[in-house]
């Protein structure tokens, strides 16, 4: 289910790299400009996804025609047929993903969505050092080496929400998993889930020790 907050997190994810490179804290107008760029990126994704889906379905149709009329050997025909079915499945999956994008774009233009995305971006920038230190100390060396820039940003958004924006830990973790499923590599959401659960335990220990 698409929600306003989920779309805000997507906008923050798409904008975070540019924000975190800035040496000084960005003001709201700077952040809003980056958010609008992210909205345009989402709109472009709609077109690209539908074009890719069309290409996959066209290629599957070509392979099916080829296997039916030009491949006399059963084993070879079966291989081509399987390839065609795989391409058709990929095309249909892309169409399924694209169906959500108009609703995402609708939310992305809402003021409350952009306001929360801006709050996330400014929180990430303002507390960048503390957030990164928390992530680093919650992971072992092999995990840090495996961590891609995108996955780190997803984790940092969740940490910002848990630590500074009063979002329930389980909610932040679940939303990070959804971001990973949409934007990261297959299987990354399980890795991110494990990392964030460890960070949640660290935060619980810190809060128990300090009382906040």
Name the residue with higher pLDDT: 154 or 93. Answer: 154
DSSP the chain: ---HHHHHHHHHHHHHHHHHT-SS---HHHHHHHHHHHHHHHHHHHHHHHHHHHHHHHHHHHHHHHHHHH--SHHHHHHHHHHHHHHHHHHHHHHHHHHHHHHHHHHHTSHHHHHHHHHHHHHHHHTHHHHHHHHHHTS-HHHHHH--HHHHHHHHHHHHHHHHS---HHHHHHHHHHHHHHHS-TTHHHHHHHHHHHHHHHHHHHHHHH--
Q: Where are the domains of the chain?
A: 1-126, 127-212
Instruction: Identify the CATH number of the domain defined by range 127-212.
Output: 1.10.940.10
Per-residue model confidence (pLDDT) at position 52: 66
Confidence of residue 162 (pLDDT cuts 50, 70, 90): very high
Per-residue model confidence (pLDDT) at position 6: 93
pLDDT in tens, 36-74: 888 887 777 666 666 666 666 566 666 556 555 454 554
Confidence of residue 5 (pLDDT cuts 50, 70, 90): very high
N residues, the chain: 212
Q: Residue 180: is its pLDDT beyond 70?
A: yes
Q: Residue 187: is its pLDDT beyond 80?
A: yes
pLDDT in tens, 96-130: 555 567 777 788 888 999 999 999 999 999 999 99
Name the residue with higher pLDDT: 32 or 82. Answer: 32
Name the residue with higher pLDDT: 9 or 97. Answer: 9
In whole angstroms, what is the distance from residue 37 CA to residue 172 CA? Answer: 25
Per-residue model confidence (pLDDT) at position 62: 64
Confidence of residue 166 (pLDDT cuts 50, 70, 90): very high
- For residues 136-165, b (16+ Cβ closer than 10 Å) or e, as one string? eebbeeeeeeebeebbbbbbbbbbbbbbbe
- Residues 5-17 have a mean pLDDT of 92
In whole angstroms, what is the distance from residue 91 CA to residue 97 CA? Answer: 10
> What global pTM score does this model have?
0.74
Q: Residue 152: is its pLDDT beyond 80?
A: yes
């Amino acid at each position: 289910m698409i929600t306003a907050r989920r779309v805000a997190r997507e906008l923050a994810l798409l904008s975070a790299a540019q924000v975190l490179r800035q040496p000084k804290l960005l003001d709201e107008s700077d952040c809003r400009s980056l958010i609008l760029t992210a909205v345009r990126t989402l709109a472009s994704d709609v077109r690209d996804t539908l074009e890719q889906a069309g290409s996959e379905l066209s290629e599957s149709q070509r392979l099916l025609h080829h296997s039916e009329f030009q491949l006399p050997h059963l084993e070879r025909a079966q291989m081509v047929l399987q390839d065609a079915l795989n391409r058709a499945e990929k095309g249909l999956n892309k169409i399924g993903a694209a169906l959500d994008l108009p609703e995402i774009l609708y939310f992305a233009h809402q003021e409350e969505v952009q306001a929360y995305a801006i709050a996330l971006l400014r929180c990430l920038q303002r507390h960048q050092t503390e957030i990164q230190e928390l992530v680093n100390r919650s992971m072992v060396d092999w995990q840090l080496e495996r961590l891609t820039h995108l996955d780190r940003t997803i984790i940092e958004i969740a940490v910002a929400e848990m630590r500074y924006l009063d979002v329930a830990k389980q909610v932040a973790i679940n939303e990070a998993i959804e971001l990973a499923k949409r934007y990261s590599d297959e299987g990354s959401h399980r890795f991110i889930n494990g990392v964030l659960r460890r960070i949640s335990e660290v935060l619980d220990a810190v809060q128990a020790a300090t009382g906040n």
